[in-house]
Amino acid sequence: MQPPTDPLDSLFERWGESTPRVRDSLDREVWRRIANAESRPAPVGWFSTIESAFARPAFAVAFVAACMLLGLFLAEVRLSKLHEQRSVVIEASYLQLIAPSADFAAVQTTTEARR
Amino acid sequence: MKRIALVLLAGIACGTLAHYSWFDARRPSPAADLQEQLNWVRATLQLNADQFAQIKNLHEELGPHLISLSSQVQRMRAELAQFENERITSGQIDFLEFARLMKERQAVNRDYDEYSRRLVAATTSVMTPEQRAHYLDIVAPAIQAAERNPYQ
């Protein structure tokens, strides 16, 4: 009994015939690029390392993004301190409303001791 | 070199811009008015919407009178300081004026005491026991200090 013919068989037969010949110029170009890459001097010292890092667009974008994140973080730290101070001022003004004749230095000392 | 400078400058500019934009957008308002005080009470005591509405009504009802009394207290405090200054510099004061100020001050303090007690009592009546304890923990030292020092 003869096995059924595989449709891939004919494709494999044609494959070897239809592969185009590699041009000589392509070979030369590839070897030229390899030689170029090897002959480029490797970065020497920390400044060269930084320079080569900054030359990469991905690094530059990441650096700018990191600067923005740092700016946002510092803004949050400032806001947190501001909210803390403001909370103390509002508490004092509320107590001033409830008891204006209170000695607020004493009240503050008591409140801080309580905390 | 030029590229490093350019990227550094862009980073600093973008970071500074992000910092100030965020800070300005989220900076709290400088005023410590009644609304801000009530927001502070709400946040500190974790009041629910219903409690906050009732406490806000109470403060809006009694608050203006207390604010007016508070400004009278401040005025009288300044007058008292002036009397003291006169006593130190010239060695004598107008005792009739001084007595009038003291009488007025006593009346204002009595009025103030009554209103602030009413406000505190009404405010604590809408709170849970835990909130009440926390609130009294905050306001009691001020009230006690005012009682100890009514002529300040």
The string of DSSP codes covering B21-86 is: HHHHHHPPPS---HHHHHHHHHHHHT--HHHHHHHHHHHHHHHHHHHHHHHHHHHHHHHHHHHHHH
Per the CB < 8 A criterion, the answer to whether B118 and B24 are in contact is no
ipTM, 2 decimals? 0.71
Segment A45-72 shows an average pLDDT of 89
Does B23 contact A75 at a Cβ distance shorter than 8 Å? yes
**The pLDDT of residue B41 is above 70:** yes
d(CA B4, CA A48): 11
- Name the residue with tokens 């405090």: B77
Question: pLDDT category, B61, cuts 50, 70, 90?
Answer: confident
- The pLDDT score that the predictor gives to residue A74 is 96
- Is the Cβ of A101 closer than 8 Å to some Cβ of chain B? yes
Residue A22 neighbours by CB under 8 Å, 6+ apart: none
**The pLDDT of residue B104 is above 60:** yes
**The pLDDT of residue A109 is above 60:** no
**Which of A90, A103, A114 has the most B C-beta neighbours within 10 Å, making it the best mutation to test the interface with B?**
A90
Question: pLDDT category, B149, cuts 50, 70, 90?
Answer: low
Which residue from B minimizes the CA distance to A52?
B4
Per the CB < 8 A criterion, the answer to whether A97 and B67 are in contact is yes
Residue A84 with chain B: CB contacts under 8 Å? none
d(CA B143, CA B116): 9
d(CA A70, CA A39): 39
Does A71 contact B19 at a Cβ distance shorter than 8 Å? yes
- Is the Cβ of A67 closer than 8 Å to some Cβ of chain B? yes
d(CA B135, CA A83): 20
Can you read off the two tokens belonging to residue B74? Answer: 């401040």
- The pLDDT score that the predictor gives to residue B21 is 96
- The pLDDT score that the predictor gives to residue B22 is 95
Residue B11 neighbours by CB under 8 Å, 6+ apart: A63, A64, A66, A67
- The pLDDT score that the predictor gives to residue B83 is 81
Per the CB < 8 A criterion, the answer to whether B4 and A61 are in contact is no
- Is the Cβ of B123 closer than 8 Å to some Cβ of chain A? no
**The pLDDT of residue B25 is above 80:** yes
- The pLDDT score that the predictor gives to residue B17 is 96
Integer-rounded Cα radius of gyration of chain B? 25
What count of other Cβ atoms lies within 10 Å of the Cβ of residue A110? 14
Q: Name the residue facing A54 among B4, B22, B143 (closest C-beta).
A: B4
* Interfacial A residues in 2-31 facing B (CB < 8 Å): none
Alpha helices by DSSP H, listed for A19-100, are 24-39, 45-54, 57-98
Which residue from B minimizes the CA distance to A106?
B145
Average model confidence (pLDDT) for chain B?
Answer: 85
More confident residue, A13 or A57: A57
Residue B23 with chain A: CB contacts under 8 Å? 75, 78-79
Residue A91 with chain B: CB contacts under 8 Å? 40, 44, 138
- The pLDDT score that the predictor gives to residue A16 is 67
